[in-house]
Structure 1
Amino acid sequence: MNIDFHYGVIYVVSRLAGLPVADATTVAHACQYVDDATTPGLLYFAGGERFERIASAHKIFDYENLFNELNRLVWTPFHFLPAGEGNTLEERAVCRPDSKVAREVILKAIAKKGTDNDLHRLGVTLHTYVDTWAHQGFAGIESDYNKVSHLEAEDCTPAQWFEHIRRATDHLVDDVEAEVLSRTVPLGHGAALHYPDQPWAKWHYVNGKGQRVVRDNLPDFLVAADMACRAVQAYCAGADDLNTQPGLKAQEKSVLRELLSTSVDTDENVRLQVIHDWLAAGAFPGLQEELVAYIPKGPGSWKHKATGIKVKDDGKSGPVWTPAFEQSDYRKFHDAVKEHRFAVIQEILPENGLRLV
């Protein structure tokens, strides 16, 4: 999923679930920031203090990163959560929507309510949770399930198709096909281009196991939004079960369906602006408000507010640590990322018969 869902839709469902504006903004920001936190390693302060960060994402088509085995620490816990279903390790590593593992992960985050970074932890975990719908059928390890051939999509013009390929392959030759991408990008859904993340897409392909996979994203994305709403409702209620939560109301689902099915620009930021406009116009029942601008880097970003670092972190001129850093969204987010990864990799997956790192 892209920023329109991870930030825009998660904000909307968080508000509809009962969170106040500031809390819903924090949850949505943390949810999207999972895709933008690409700087790992120690943050060095001028006075000698240090703060450890881990990356929760890589640039999707950074090939050196993709071939690094350590990326199981990124793709598996944050983007392609294994369902633990099947007989072989490869089968059990495949991501499935709302799996038993996914429920355990989201409930563990909800149980953190009352800690100083509980909203950040909820946002981080919601990213992983809703991605189980978008990324179903793919794995965060090298797998034949990630190989894609005979990829076709409805309502895709030749011009749109070549634009998908251009965006996906960046500097590579223009005539690269999905079969070639399957060999070049062995992790996740790289060979499927942007189709898994587009709410309206109807598409199909043949995976490396020879299985024909048919996908209709809209129903899946609507279920993901409803379950995200239930997760936030469970957090608000201090409950340990999503099934007992009401989820989105019928009218709320109807508006969201219309939004996701009609906002079909391939630019995710344009789609986010549509959500902003609908919110401001009062399209969602009971909500008429501004969506706070999401700033991933530079002035106004969580990192800049916490450290003063504008964009590049070269380690040569460290910021000055103050007690305010400990209360910053940046610190709380990165601690939430560390907590989430530990819970997934060291606790939940081994308990479900998966030891991937």
Structure 2
Amino acid sequence: MQIDMHYYGTFCVARAAGLNRESARIIATAAQFVDDNAQQNGIDLADASACRVEATAHHTADVSNIDPDDQRQVWVPFHFLPGNEGSSFTERLVCRKDSEIAQQMCQNHLEQAAKSYFLELLGIMAHVYADTFAHYGFSGVSSRHNKVVNDSFEFRDLDEKMEAYIVGKKDSFFARFNPIVRNIKSHLAEELSGALGHGGVVTFPDRPYLKWRFEYDSGRDSGWRDNPTTFLEYCHKLHSMLSALPEEYTELEQKQDWTVLKSKVAKVLAFQGAGDARIDNWKHEAQCGELLNIAEDIPEYRDWNDGFEALSHSSGSEAMKHPIYRYYQAASYHRWYVLRELLPQHGLMVS
């Protein structure tokens, strides 16, 4: 999913689940920051304290994307949670929608209310869980299971102009953004980049309005993928989880029953538009439509990188008050829990 869902959609679902604005903002910011947190260097502080980064993504131009160990530390726990289906290890690493592992991860994180970084952890949970509804059928390591036939795409109920737009984006993707081809001129690097995650289907899994199908390189047919229905299912599950949070995070007059909210969210998901247009649609429905009980602005997304470097002149106690530190705590806990506890419980030793 992209920022329209990870931030704006998450904020609206959280508000409709009865959370207060600040709690909803923190959860939604953390959910989107999983994709934006590509810091490479930590900081040393004036009092000899230090803060080391916990990267949860890499920019497209980062060669780290093809490093096998890095794939297992970043892409697997944060973007392609293994579904544990199949016989071989690489098959079991393929992400599956709303898998038992994903549900167990959510339940664990929801039980961490005593932690100071609880809301940031819930944002990471929301991102990882959401990606199982978008990235299913692909894995976070370079694998032949991820390779697709480039000219096998079909679309249903898609506006002609929108189809031309997204196909054009697909055709230009590797030439414009593929860092491996651009920075490492080798057949092996090109093969690895095309077989990592959902690179072969570019942003199609992340577009909420898309109904589509394709063929894997192995000959398997993906079947029709109905993103609007799948994303709506995710929103329902997230709404249910957040509805059960402790009272200190809530503003109950904002709470809506899912039976009331469902059609409103479905309308937003079905909107066909580029990323900025989809963001504007969430904003419009929150401010001018009937999406929320109280018409309101959605706070603009602000990532937590701003001002972080300035903390080098601060003390450790001051720096720990910065939101990015709580996010790093949450990311460190999530990575450890998934790789060292959750996946081994299911017989998967990824890292």
| Structures share fold, TM-score greater than 0.5 | yes
Question: Structure 1 residues 159 and 17 mapped into 2: Cα distance closer, same or farther (>3 Å)?
Answer: closer
1:325 deviates by 2.0
Equivalent residue number for residue 140 of structure 2 = 140
- Aligned residue among 323, 343, 346 for 1:352: 346
Question: When the two structures are superposed, what TM-score results if normalisation uses the length of structure 1?
Answer: 0.85
Task: Please list every run of 5 or more consecutive structure 2 residues that lacks an aligned counterpart in the other structure.
Answer: 182-188, 249-254
- Aligned residue among 229, 235, 249 for 2:239: 229
Task: Please list every run of 5 or more consecutive structure 1 residues that lacks an aligned counterpart in the other structure.
Answer: 174-179, 239-245, 297-301, 310-317
1:252 deviates by 0.7
Equivalent residue number for residue 328 of structure 2 = 334
Higher helix fraction (1 or 2): 2
1:103-128 CA distances to partner (integer Å, 9 max, x unpaired)? 11111111111211100000011100
Percent of counterpart pairs with the same letter? 28
Residues 1:53 and 2:53 aligned together: yes
CA distance in structure 2 between the aligned counterparts of 1:12 and 1:253, rounded to whole angstroms: 12
Equivalent residue number for residue 288 of structure 2 = 281
1:168 deviates by 5.2
Question: Contact between 1:46 and 1:319, CA under 8 Å: does it hold in 2?
Answer: yes
Counterpart amino acid of residue 168 in structure 2: F
Residues 1:166 and 2:172 aligned together: yes
Question: Structure 1 residues 167 and 276 mapped into 2: Cα distance closer, same or farther (>3 Å)?
Answer: farther
Asked which structure has the greater RCO (Cα within 8 Å, sep 6+), the reply is: 2
CA distance in structure 2 between the aligned counterparts of 1:160 and 1:233, rounded to whole angstroms: 35
CA distance in structure 2 between the aligned counterparts of 1:236 and 1:4, rounded to whole angstroms: 27
CA distance in structure 2 between the aligned counterparts of 1:208 and 1:164, rounded to whole angstroms: 17
The residue matched to 1:203 in structure 2 has which SS? Answer: strand
Counterpart amino acid of residue 301 in structure 2: Y
Counterpart amino acid of residue 279 in structure 1: A
The count of residues paired between Structure 1 and Structure 2 equals 328
Counterpart amino acid of residue 338 in structure 1: S
| 160-169 or 64-73: bigger deviation | 160-169
| 109-118 or 277-286: bigger deviation | 277-286
Question: Contact between 2:43 and 2:309, CA under 8 Å: does it hold in 1?
Answer: no
Equivalent residue number for residue 217 of structure 2 = 208
- Aligned residue among 324, 337, 343 for 2:318: 324
The residue matched to 2:36 in structure 1 has which SS? Answer: coil
CA distance in structure 1 between the aligned counterparts of 2:177 and 2:98, rounded to whole angstroms: 36
| 275-284 or 100-109: bigger deviation | 275-284
Question: Structure 1 residues 15 and 159 mapped into 2: Cα distance closer, same or farther (>3 Å)?
Answer: closer
Question: When the two structures are superposed, what TM-score results if normalisation uses the length of structure 2?
Answer: 0.87
CA distance in structure 2 between the aligned counterparts of 1:273 and 1:324, rounded to whole angstroms: 36
1:208 deviates by 3.0
Kindly report structure 1 stretches of 4+ aligned residues shifted beyond 6 Å.
Answer: none
CA distance in structure 2 between the aligned counterparts of 1:44 and 1:212, rounded to whole angstroms: 51
Equivalent residue number for residue 313 of structure 1 = none
CA distance in structure 2 between the aligned counterparts of 1:160 and 1:219, rounded to whole angstroms: 20
Residues 1:256 and 2:255 aligned together: no
CA distance in structure 1 between the aligned counterparts of 2:293 and 2:215, rounded to whole angstroms: 43
Question: Structure 1 residues 224 and 3 mapped into 2: Cα distance closer, same or farther (>3 Å)?
Answer: same
CA distance in structure 2 between the aligned counterparts of 1:48 and 1:269, rounded to whole angstroms: 43
1:25 deviates by 0.4
1:134-179 CA distances to partner (integer Å, 9 max, x unpaired)? 0000001122221011233343544541233324541569xxxxxx
Equivalent residue number for residue 61 of structure 2 = 62
- Aligned residue among 262, 265, 274 for 2:273: 265
1:324 deviates by 2.9
Counterpart amino acid of residue 19 in structure 1: L
